[in-house]
Chain A
Amino acid sequence: MKAGQQTKSSKEVADEITSLSKDIYTSILHKKSPSLNIPIRALQNVSYDPKVGYFELIGKEKLRTLTASTVKTFAQTLKMMSLSKELVQQDDIATKREAYYVSKNWGDARFDEQPDSDNVMDDIEAMMMVNREQLGFIPEEKGGDIAGKLIVIDHDRETGKELRIDCTKFGSGAYSVPISVEHLQFETDAEFILAIETAGMFQRLVKHNYWKKANCILVSMGGVPTRACRRFIRRLSEERKIPVYAFVDGDFYGWMNIYRTLKVGSGNAAHINKYFCVPHAKFFGITAQDIVDYKLPTHPLKEVDIKRGKDALKNDPFVQQYKEWQKAINDLMKMGKRAEQQALAAWGLNYVIEKYLPEKLSNPKTWLP
């Protein structure tokens, strides 16, 4: 289960785009309705096998044939492929937002909102089974913040000289994960990586030099971890053989959207989960049991939370694989409550450092798979 390098070269990508376009062209000239085969990007089209470790596509595809309801997206997909080919051939990049703005030149085929253009971009990715960076598109989002016992080896953009970035030396700040992490190398003797949901909790742990006490690397995911963040943790943990623990809010969003995506990837980007997941990550907290054990202050579950929980039980292959998770979700549903990481502060601001984290660390039985 080695992370491995992503395989397609720029030329291969450009050639594949050309070949796809040729098929469409030929089909049109033969008076046949052209179509594009795009894997369905949703939980219904993924399976989970713990031995594989991540969500795999199970081959359901949607046929984007030229009809009234698809013609606009069809045109947009081709336009986007054209833009990608241009970028790849000229060794240039465009951010997702920039690509959205480029589309404003396309007349009626322009995108009205960026989520629309992101969606088409994801479709092309899935269709070609490549990462969007290979198509010349890069995200806007930050990759995540790192602090702790880690030296990242990067290169100076101008001179190409090796840069050694010591993540212990950012004071109250942090090292920012770059958008692409494939070229990075790591040096560390940390015992574990703690992937944290909120920047607030990360700040607290940095401020009190928790990484020093626990000899670890702290990662702030800032919500659902970006692909770069997932890839960074994956490479770091796999290459240096360090365990990864996720520390997120005690609710379905923290458990499924954040932790599950970190560990096995998402339904939406299943075609690239192979690279962008951390299959051996463990769930550290906050569990349903933690809420009871630590008598955490709670908020009632909202309707949207309950829906998310039910949805996970019904549709998420990851949850379906693990009885522990089913129990956890059912427990939380029964309690009708959720608790945030920072609720631990009810017992003192440093309770999390002095009591919670050490206790959890020493008691793997309280973790979830």
Chain B
Amino acid sequence: MAQKTLTDVGNEQGESAGKREADRIKSKAHEMAQKQQEISVAAFFEKNRHLLGFDNKRKALLTTVKEAVDNSLDACEEAGILPEIHVEMIQMDEERFRIIVEDNGPGIVKNQIPKVFGKLLYGSKFFTLRQSRGQQGIGISAAVMYAQLTTGRPAKITSKIHPNEPAHYYELHINTQKNMPEIVKEESKEWAKEHGTRVELDLEAIYQKGSQSVDQYLKQTAIVNPHVTLVYTNPKAEQIIFARATDSLPQQPKEIKPHPYGVELGMFINMLKMTQYRTLQQFLCSDFSRVGPGTAKEICQHASVLPSTPPKDISREMAERLTKAIKVTKIIAPATDCVVPISEMLLEKGLKKEINAEFYTAVSRPPEVYRGNPFVIECALAYGGEQSAEESVTIYRFANRVPLLYQQSACATYKAIIDTNWRSYGLSQSASSLPIGPVTVAIHMASVWVPFTSESKEAIAHYPEIIKEIKLALQECGRRLYSYLSKKQRVGYELKKRGYIEKYIPHVAEALKGLLGLKDSDREKIEAALKEILEKTRGEVEDIDFKPEKNVEYDETFAKIGKEEKKESAEGSEDGEGEGI
């Protein structure tokens, strides 16, 4: 048996070949393991900046201003301060801008400053449910990071929290690997302001006017935030002041705990980990809204988990059973007083300022709930006047008082508009497209959690409950529009009739003059009397003719802001996607 058969050789060779392959794969795995490391969120977003709204230079400018202004507004309102925000854009080079946003907010405590601006996903809002502009603490640090990536310059932050204390000044970078702030410079300095925050960022950007511009964003912000004063200096060093129209702050939105219906497994497990309560029942009752001991027990029963189980002992499987149990348990809807709408009156007023139309209406829907999150839909509509009748209706979208300028056709509002039958309200509309007519529609969604389709917060996600509410609001506006249009038609008809009657009055008078041999003065008497009779029998006619000067709210200069280059922007792709940086 000394001789190996050919087969054996072949087998041997086969074995050794197989071994070699296995070794190769093993060493490859080691090699790959060396490369595998924690990817910081910052590094991830560096590669996926489009998710945060920095996909092109024009949009980057808007996103940066927007994040800074949104934060300022949130801070002011939370502190009960009437916001006064200065926005300045200085053109440093052809495609390089310095953006300065300064507010009169409460300021930021010294040691928080680096984290707020230099660490992504660091914020105050992620684990609470409260109607606010910002949601998860990404926005402003992403802007800082974008600035750093495109110009290498640090963000310069000044903040002051008390008149008697000095301001703190920081120059910051973000360590994108570690998602940590790197302090370049730090000092105390005098600042004339009593309190507030000032952010200065240098970034690569393109400034353009039009419907998706900073100008448009600030204007629309002013429309839905009448309590805000915005002082805007554009790159041409022209200053525009959007003065506040009211001195009363909107009602402070209440913070609520999450409603069980809106919590998914991952978040549920997270909450179990974080809770301070000792039993499942306590956890359910205290960390969620609308759960009492009875409901908690019912959930536990449905999930076959003891209510006395400590949260830390809940396994993944048990957590899954619990989330399923929540769905089959009847739980009352969340309180809805935590959502603060703009109000029909202010929304309509805002629209009047922007559009000189002949008819305005606004509808605020009662609060509704999607996935356990309360929300309110508001809608305002302006018809006719100086608007073009041949174009698609103009849409203004707002979420928690923030204008949405991009991704219109991906938005739930858009879906709701095209799904509404506008033909029955007197507009023309072809199947699944926007109605055509001299109409502007403004839609606002206020919620403790606005579900956006992406982190860049450009479009509201298509939740059926949300679309339904928007449609109901639109339909109500539509019905009012229709009744206005019918009235207009009736009045028009009546005026025509009156004109007709008045045309023949002189002939009646003339004939009577001839028949009775009357004097001219008698004829005039007859004419006057006939007119009076007519007025008496036909009643007053409401004058609903469009008169441009009738709308006292309308502000022509205001309306023009951000519109100059409308044509140009309409030609480009709708969202400016694909332009790249």
Q: Is A109 an interface residue, CB under 8 A from the partner?
A: yes
Selected from B504, B525, B532, B534, the residue in CB contact (under 8 A) with A72 is B504
How far, in Å, is B481 (CB) from chain A's closest CB?
Answer: 28
Which of B501, B503, B525, B532 counts the most chain A CB atoms within 10 A? B501
How far, in Å, is A66 (CB) from chain B's closest CB?
Answer: 7
With the chains together, A85 CA to B512 CA distance in Å? 12
With the chains together, A106 CA to B510 CA distance in Å? 10
Q: Which of B464-503 contact A (CB under 8 A)?
A: 497-498, 500-501, 503
Q: Is A8 an interface residue, CB under 8 A from the partner?
A: no
Q: Is B254 an interface residue, CB under 8 A from the partner?
A: no
Selected from B504, B534, B536, the residue in CB contact (under 8 A) with A74 is B504
Residues of B within 8 A of A79 (CB): 507, 510-511, 514
Residues of B within 8 A of A85 (CB): 515
Selected from A31, A68, A72, A74, the residue in CB contact (under 8 A) with B529 is A31
Selected from B510, B514, B530, the residue in CB contact (under 8 A) with A66 is B530
A71–B504 CB distance below 8 A? yes
B511–A82 CB distance below 8 A? yes
B501–A68 CB distance below 8 A? yes
Q: Which of A29-51 contact B (CB under 8 A)?
A: 29, 31-33
Q: Is A151 an interface residue, CB under 8 A from the partner?
A: no
Q: Is B325 an interface residue, CB under 8 A from the partner?
A: no
With the chains together, A76 CA to B525 CA distance in Å? 20
Selected from A29, A81, A86, A106, the residue in CB contact (under 8 A) with B525 is A29
How far, in Å, is A116 (CB) from chain B's closest CB?
Answer: 14
Residues of B within 8 A of A366 (CB): none
A78 and B512 contact, Cβ closer than 8 Å, known pairs A28-B526, A29-B529, A66-B530: yes
B533–A108 CB distance below 8 A? no
**Chain A window 1-40, contacts with chain B (Cβ cutoff 8 Å), 1 for yes, 0 for no:** 0000000000000000110011011001101110000000
Q: How many residues of B contact A (CB 8 A)?
A: 25
Residues of A within 8 A of B512 (CB): 21, 24-25, 28, 78
With the chains together, A108 CA to B507 CA distance in Å? 8
Q: Who on chain A is nearest to B503 by CB? A: A108
Number of A-B contacts (CB under 8 A): 75
**Chain B window 5-22, contacts with chain A (Cβ cutoff 8 Å), 1 for yes, 0 for no:** 000000000000000000
A109–B507 CB distance below 8 A? yes
A22–B504 CB distance below 8 A? no
Q: Is A160 an interface residue, CB under 8 A from the partner?
A: no
With the chains together, A272 CA to B101 CA distance in Å? 95
With the chains together, A66 CA to B100 CA distance in Å? 72
B501–A28 CB distance below 8 A? no
Q: Is B508 an interface residue, CB under 8 A from the partner?
A: yes
Q: Who on chain A is nearest to B493 by CB? A: A68
With the chains together, A22 CA to B513 CA distance in Å? 10
B515–A75 CB distance below 8 A? no
With the chains together, A85 CA to B498 CA distance in Å? 30
Q: Is B36 an interface residue, CB under 8 A from the partner?
A: no
With the chains together, A66 CA to B501 CA distance in Å? 9
Q: Is B33 an interface residue, CB under 8 A from the partner?
A: no
With the chains together, A13 CA to B510 CA distance in Å? 21
How far, in Å, is B38 (CB) from chain A's closest CB?
Answer: 84
Q: Is B516 an interface residue, CB under 8 A from the partner?
A: yes
With the chains together, A68 CA to B498 CA distance in Å? 7
Selected from B498, B508, B518, B529, the residue in CB contact (under 8 A) with A75 is B508
Residues of B within 8 A of A32 (CB): 533
Selected from A17, A22, A74, A86, the residue in CB contact (under 8 A) with B508 is A74
With the chains together, A109 CA to B532 CA distance in Å? 21
Q: Which of A78-130 contact B (CB under 8 A)?
A: 78-79, 81-82, 85-86, 106-109
A108–B516 CB distance below 8 A? no
With the chains together, A85 CA to B234 CA distance in Å? 82
A21 and B507 contact, Cβ closer than 8 Å, known pairs A29-B525, A68-B501: no
With the chains together, A82 CA to B525 CA distance in Å? 19
Q: Is B34 an interface residue, CB under 8 A from the partner?
A: no
How far, in Å, is A162 (CB) from chain B's closest CB?
Answer: 40
With the chains together, A82 CA to B510 CA distance in Å? 10
Q: Is B537 an interface residue, CB under 8 A from the partner?
A: yes
Residues of B within 8 A of A66 (CB): 501, 508, 530, 533-534
B511–A75 CB distance below 8 A? yes
B501–A71 CB distance below 8 A? yes
Residues of A within 8 A of B533 (CB): 28, 31-33, 66
Residues of A within 8 A of B503 (CB): 108
A18–B507 CB distance below 8 A? no
With the chains together, A65 CA to B510 CA distance in Å? 18
Q: Who on chain A is nearest to B522 by CB? A: A25
A18–B515 CB distance below 8 A? yes
Q: Who on chain B is nearest to A82 by CB? A: B514
Q: Who on chain B is nearest to A25 by CB? A: B512
How far, in Å, is B527 (CB) from chain A's closest CB?
Answer: 9
With the chains together, A103 CA to B525 CA distance in Å? 24
A109 and B504 contact, Cβ closer than 8 Å, known pairs A28-B533, A31-B529, A66-B533: yes
A81–B511 CB distance below 8 A? yes
Q: Which of A113-155 contact B (CB under 8 A)?
A: none
Residues of B within 8 A of A17 (CB): 515
With the chains together, A21 CA to B515 CA distance in Å? 7
Residues of B within 8 A of A72 (CB): 500, 504
B516–A25 CB distance below 8 A? yes
How far, in Å, is A24 (CB) from chain B's closest CB?
Answer: 7
With the chains together, A128 CA to B504 CA distance in Å? 24
B515–A82 CB distance below 8 A? yes
Which of A24, A75, A81, A109 counts the most chain B CB atoms within 10 A? A75
* A-B pairs with beta carbons under 8 Å apart, 9 shown: A28-B526, A29-B525, A66-B533, A71-B500, A71-B505, A74-B504, A74-B508, A78-B507, A81-B511
- 3 closest A-B pairs by beta carbon, nearest first, are A78-B511, A75-B507, A21-B515
B residues apposed to A, CB below 8 Å: 497-498, 500-501, 503-505, 507-508, 510-512, 514-516, 518, 525-526, 529-530, 532-534, 536-537
A residues apposed to B, CB below 8 Å: 17-18, 21-22, 24-25, 28-29, 31-33, 66-68, 71-72, 74-76, 78-79, 81-82, 85-86, 106-109
